[in-house]
């Protein structure tokens, strides 16, 4: 035994290396008691049962959490499928974005939708909820770190970003979901605003929004001029 190891260390190591020791020597359990914080003495077996129950309760909580996440993901995918089916036959760009906006505001219990596209021609034909933006605009460049993320950004944005997205209506927008459209936001971005500060928050699930962004990006790619699609 090394000088820096105590007798307790040696006993612990031995029991860990010989987990069946107490089974082989049940007589050792006769005088072996552990004490609750209340001061009451309990046997080692009772303590082990208590630990197993605690561990089982933790595992049940983890399982319940996984089931909730799986159920929510299934529900979101179903919603996305239905929305995609509804939008497929819509040929007019303005009708597409109008119907998309109505569904998003209803599904998310939100108050305002703003879609910003780098393609000015597409934006002009897409309706009032769609605005044209320029990549070299300093205000647009401020969004670059958010557009380069793989997932939507949820929460509160800076005042300047809020004003850029929502104009005069920004004063009552308390939380936002900002969704890049296309890889690294190459097509633009979509912002959903709510007067409820708890509606969109950092860390919330964004699977539905991320998948929806892919659907919108695919539609925008189809709407792009033939020459632009060939050079893409």
pLDDT per residue as tens digits for the range 100-159: 888 888 877 788 999 999 988 888 887 777 899 998 899 999 999 999 988 899 999 999
**Does a structural domain hold residue 52?**
no
- The label of the residue with tokens 């209803």 reads 106
Neighbours of 124 (CB within 10 A): 14
Distance CA 112, CA 33 (A): 65
Alpha-carbon dihedral of residues 171, 175, 177, 180, nearest 10 degrees?
Answer: 50
Question: Is position 64 within any domain?
Answer: no
Under the banding of pLDDT at 50, 70 and 90, the label for residue 43 is low
3-state SS class at 163: helix
Q: Is residue 8 part of a domain?
A: no
pLDDT of the residue at 5? 79
Find residue 189's DSSP bridge partners: 116, 180
Q: Is there a domain that residue 123 lies in? A: yes
For residue 110, is it within any domain?
yes
Distance of CA 153 to the CA centre of its chain: 9
Q: Does residue 111 lie in a domain region? A: yes
Q: How many domains does the chain have?
A: 1
- Domain boundaries, position 145: 92-231
Specify the pLDDT at position 56: 85
Quick check: is 117 in a domain?
A: yes
Which tens digit of pLDDT belongs to each residue from 52-97?
A: 788 888 889 888 888 887 887 787 778 778 888 888 888 787 888 8
Domain of residue 132, CATH code? 3.30.450.40
30 domain residue, yes or no: no
């Amino acid at each position: 035994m090394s000088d820096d190891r105590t007798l307790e260390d040696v006993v612990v190591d031995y029991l860990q290396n010989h987990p069946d020791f107490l089974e082989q020597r049940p007589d050792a359990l006769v005088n072996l008691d552990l004490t609750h914080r209340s001061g009451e003495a309990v046997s080692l077996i009772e303590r082990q049962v208590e630990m197993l129950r605690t561990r089982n309760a933790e595992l049940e909580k983890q399982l319940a959490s996984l089931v909730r996440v799986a159920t929510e993901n299934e529900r979101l995918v179903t919603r996305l499928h239905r929305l995609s089916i509804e939008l497929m036959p819509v040929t007019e760009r303005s009708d597409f974005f109008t119907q998309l906006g109505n569904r998003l505001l209803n599904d998310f219990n939100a108050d305002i939708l703003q879609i910003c596209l780098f393609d000015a021609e597409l934006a002009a034909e897409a309706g009032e909820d769609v605005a044209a933006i320029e990549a070299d605009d300093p205000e647009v460049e401020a969004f670059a770190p958010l557009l380069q993320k793989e997932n939507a950004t949820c929460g509160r944005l800076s005042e300047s970003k809020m004003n850029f997205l929502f104009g005069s209506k920004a004063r009552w927008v308390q939380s936002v979901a900002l969704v890049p459209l296309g890889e690294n936001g190459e097509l633009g971005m979509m912002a959903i605003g709510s007067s409820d500060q708890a509606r969109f928050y950092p860390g919330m699930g964004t699977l539905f929004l991320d998948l929806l962004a892919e659907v919108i990006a695919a539609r925008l790619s189809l709407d792009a001029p033939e020459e632009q699609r060939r050079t893409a």
